[in-house]
Structure 1
């Protein structure tokens, strides 16, 4: 596995740029065995621990089977919210991509998370 074909790299990057515009920070391809950063915005340093990120995002391969056949339907993607931006992971057909972006408009997710966190803070887990 390893590296996607060059045409696929361009297609992935084009799709990410179309969806995120100037907010695109990075694009990283990964499999169960390999990880490769395909794009990093020029104003960012290459200090990210790709292997550490990959270890975390690889859990998505296992999660797909855990979530199979639930009433929620098929797993589609994961969004992780950070102080300075977002990470979106998509896995399909045994390989995946994660995209990091600057903060973008996702007010509904933030409102939902805030409301749920407030409720969770209001009681102690038994």
Structure 2
């Protein structure tokens, strides 16, 4: 699968910015084979190990099937808590995004994940 079109990038970034405001630190799109950082806040270092993050976040493709048909319901998203911020991963089919943010109220993480998931599901699966 190729990288998202400019229109899709704008949709993802707009949804992330709407849900998080100035707390958005970065937004990265990924598939099994590709990584594309869509946004990085200007006050952050550009030296993040995207490949290392992607290797970890790609495990979410497995989580989709691993958690299928559980009493908890379908897997929706993951939030990881770090000393200096949060990472929210959303996967739909064969692609996903992760957003890093500063601290936010918990309901904003769900709003962020729901908005990003809706956009990812609208992507042409071809």
Residue of structure 2 in register with 1:8 after alignment: 8
- With structure 1 as the length reference, what TM-score do the two structures score? 0.82
Q: CA deviation at 1:98?
A: 0.1
Residue of structure 2 in register with 1:113 after alignment: none
Residue of structure 1 in register with 2:55 after alignment: 55
**What are the equivalent positions in structure 2 for 1:39-118 lying under 5 Å apart?**
39-106=39-106
- With structure 2 as the length reference, what TM-score do the two structures score? 0.82
Look at both structures and tell me which one has the larger radius of gyration over its CA atoms: 1
Q: CA deviation at 1:87?
A: 0.1
Alpha-carbon distance in structure 1 between the residues aligned to 2:4 and 2:93: 13
Once superposed, what is the RMSD of the aligned Cα atoms?
1.1
Describe the SS at the equivalent of 1:42: coil
Q: Gapped runs of 5+ residues in structure 1?
A: 108-126
Q: Gapped runs of 5+ residues in structure 2?
A: 108-126
Runs (4+) of structure 1 exceeding 6 A deviation are none
Q: CA deviation at 1:30?
A: 0.2
Q: Deviations over 1:21-50 (max 9, x none)?
A: 000000000000111100000111111000
- Segment of structure 1 superposing worse, 50-59 or 96-105: 96-105
Size of the alignment, in residue pairs?
A: 107
Higher relative contact order, structure no. (Cα contacts within 8 Å, ≥ 6 residues apart): 2
